[in-house]
Structure 1
Amino acid sequence: MTTYIDVCNGDADGLCALVQWRLHEPRAAHLITGLKREIELVQRVQASRGDQLLVCDLSLKRNRASLKRLLDAGVKVRYFDHHDADELTPALTHPLLDAHIDSAADTCTSLLVDHYLGGLFSAWALVGAYGDNLTAVADARAAHLGMDPKSRQCLQTLGEVINYNAYGDSAQDVLIAPAQLFPILMRYRHPLAFWERESIAKELDALRQSDLRQAGTLIARWQDAHTRVYMLPDAPWSRRVIGTLVNQLANEQPTQAHAVLRAKGTGGLLVSVRAPLAAPGGAAALCRRFGGGGRAGAAGIDHLPEQELPRFMEALSLAQWGASDAPARPGE
């Protein structure tokens, strides 16, 4: 008997990509998801020959070994993602793998699924895109679909609050665990109905606004004409708001790059980086130099030793924004 397993990031893009797929193909499936920085979720999958796995919005680079293990065991895998995948690997051409990987700065996993499904649930794809701060891309798609400004604003707010809810060090930091939020989202074929009928949406927005008010008292630790850097303390509100804050800063100053750093209770720093919206490239390449990763316009570092902060600041100030995030090939 075939077992179906869904694995996705717990942010707006991951959840909305999976919502689209499961509205398209309703099926009982075991869900594995987590908070924003819980990336290596494929390693939690236990499956055997003939089982089917769907992966959405998780870096293939970070899950490569687990993916290979499952493919070698005879598991059929469909994989949608937009993060830096490094160089192509033999696993990408495995006969049991249907991979849809595109790390372009103007796409996200929800939009990849939307394209694959021929626009069946485009409103949910827009929620994912807005959550990933692809506002201009989502606005253009919404206009093409004939959505009025009020509906667009609701979808944007919904994407932002679902994304906000994925940030934290543990389930205790967030209002609702992504695994609990997903079945509520799945009740609605259109996200506007979710927004109108579910109180959790307004509760998330209220908490987000409260956290942003606390963040609004901060001043930039360092800035120049091209870059702004902020430092957050280690607290529940800062653990939740870091992604929302860095996106807000990027939108306020689209010609500047931004980094928001947060002290970790265990030592070191967590870093979120946004390339300038006017030149959305280079973020993943920068963060890879410090053990992180991500995508062209937005990336992060899970652990930056404090002694590495001066080197990171120098690299940030000298970064070539808009440049390709693809790793150099041997000899280049």
Structure 2
Amino acid sequence: MHYDVFNGDADGIIALLQLRLATPLDSQLVTGVKRDIQLLAKVPFQTGDSLTVLDVSMAKNSAALQQALAAGARVFYADHHQAGDIPQHDNLQAHINLDANMCTALIVDELLQGQYHDWAITAAYGDNLLKVADGLAAKAGLRTSQAEQLKELGTLINYNGYGKTTADLHYHPADLLRALSGYTSPFEVIADPDSAYHVLKAAYERDIAHALALEAVHQSPLLRVFELPDESASHRVSGVYGNLLANQQPDQAHLVLTEADEQHFTVSLRAPLSNKQGAGTLCAQFETGGGREAAAGINLLPKQDLTCLIEAVEAYYG
């Protein structure tokens, strides 16, 4: 059995999309909402199985990875999140790049020598690597209008990955991958009036309008904090809303708090775009937190710890 294990956001979906366009393979898809990252624990691997693991932290999946390797499974692993100690094992092919200007789809793009480069650019836009994506688009000879199309599509695919559960999403990430797999180019998706692009575009515009009407609940020269209510629309839009805020004020950090229940927030942290470091380290200080240098999150932050988080963010970037 082969398992494709991937994050349900734009980077994870498009990283796998590129691989399967290049090498079609009958596989079991293992994925979930954006914050569902301990995915390897869901795989019932056996000796002789193979796994492709994309865009989930190796550090967060360390125990399950060790078990898979011990069971004799072969693992291809590509990622840009916190890795911890990478096992040295003949059955592990690891492609880990923690550079703040790298994403998993770009790692795959390099391995495939740019075979589906427009898709990789779309993923970079979706992962909020806007300057990187702009540079790649210009180098590829794309017009500004084409780059904007890829930016919008990447944002929409990323938007679809956020939710408390997959019931909040417009498409289960596995279904969205299947829907996109019939298109060798992202421009084909955009041109098709019946594609997921048009469904997500209409939904995103409704959701983001509510978020944009909110005022900051905390603001300083270093940080802006916004709070969203416990609604499906809030959970769907929280990640792309954080990216949008970061691009509005690139010298400030941003926290988006979405009420998870009466005692907890779900947190998205964006480092200042002018100083893309530290987000993963800051969030990892809290029990359910983690991420990468530029963007990270905390699945369940006790509300009484919010002041501590704000102070830690301001101290770090100050």
* Helix, strand or coil at the partner of 1:319: helix
Give the aligned residue type for 2:173: P
How far off its partner does 1:266 sit? 6.0
- 1:302 — aligned with what? 299
Paired with 1:23 and 1:216, the residues of 2 have a C-alpha distance of 37
Paired residues in the alignment total 316
TM-score if structure 1 supplies the norm length?
0.93
Q: 2:101 aligns with which of 100, 106, 114?
A: 106
Aligned pairs for 1:221-236 within 5 A: 221-236=217-232
Paired with 2:135 and 2:142, the residues of 1 have a C-alpha distance of 10
Asked whether 1:33 is paired with 2:31, we answer: yes
Give the aligned residue type for 1:171: T
* Helix, strand or coil at the partner of 1:61: coil
Aligned pairs for 1:40-55 within 5 A: 40-55=38-53
* Helix, strand or coil at the partner of 2:224: strand
Give the aligned residue type for 2:166: A
- 1:171 — aligned with what? 166
Paired with 1:172 and 1:254, the residues of 2 have a C-alpha distance of 33
How far off its partner does 1:171 sit? 2.1
Paired with 1:214 and 1:42, the residues of 2 have a C-alpha distance of 35
How far off its partner does 1:104 sit? 0.9
Give the aligned residue type for 1:188: Y
Any conservation in 1 of the 2:31–2:174 contact (CA below 8 Å)?
yes
Which range is displaced more, 303-312 or 192-201? 192-201
RMSD: 1.1
Paired with 1:125 and 1:162, the residues of 2 have a C-alpha distance of 13
Aligned pairs for 1:284-323 within 5 A: 284-291=280-287, 292-320=289-317
Percent identity between matched residues is 43
- 2:257 — aligned with what? 261
How far off its partner does 1:289 sit? 1.2
- 1:70 — aligned with what? 68
Aligned pairs for 1:197-212 within 5 A: 197=192, 198-212=194-208
Once superposed, which parts of structure 1, at least 4 consecutive aligned residues long, lie more than 3 Å away?
none
Paired with 1:272 and 1:109, the residues of 2 have a C-alpha distance of 19
Structure 2: gaps spanning 5 or more residues:
none
How far off its partner does 1:212 sit? 1.0
Asked whether 1:81 is paired with 2:79, we answer: yes
Paired with 2:298 and 2:64, the residues of 1 have a C-alpha distance of 21
Aligned pairs for 1:244-283 within 5 A: 244-265=240-261, 267-283=263-279
How far off its partner does 1:217 sit? 1.5
- 2:153 — aligned with what? 158
Asked whether 1:213 is paired with 2:193, we answer: no
Give the aligned residue type for 1:165: N
Residue deviations 1:165-202, cap 9 Å, x none? Answer: 00001222111111111111110111110121143211
- 1:95 — aligned with what? 90
Give the aligned residue type for 1:98: Q
Paired with 2:38 and 2:134, the residues of 1 have a C-alpha distance of 31
* Helix, strand or coil at the partner of 2:176: helix
Paired with 1:18 and 1:195, the residues of 2 have a C-alpha distance of 19
* Helix, strand or coil at the partner of 1:277: coil
Any conservation in 1 of the 2:222–2:317 contact (CA below 8 Å)?
no
Q: 1:209 to 1:257 in 2, by over 3 A?
A: same
How far off its partner does 1:138 sit? 0.7
Paired with 1:265 and 1:208, the residues of 2 have a C-alpha distance of 24
Paired with 2:76 and 2:39, the residues of 1 have a C-alpha distance of 15
Structure 1: gaps spanning 5 or more residues:
322-332
Paired with 2:72 and 2:262, the residues of 1 have a C-alpha distance of 39
Residue deviations 1:196-235, cap 9 Å, x none? Answer: 1143211111111111110111100111112101111111
- 1:141 — aligned with what? 136
Paired with 1:185 and 1:201, the residues of 2 have a C-alpha distance of 9
Paired with 1:62 and 1:164, the residues of 2 have a C-alpha distance of 23
Asked whether 1:120 is paired with 2:115, we answer: yes
Any conservation in 1 of the 2:14–2:123 contact (CA below 8 Å)?
yes
Paired with 1:220 and 1:17, the residues of 2 have a C-alpha distance of 34
Give the aligned residue type for 1:260: V
Give the aligned residue type for 1:238: S
* Helix, strand or coil at the partner of 1:201: helix
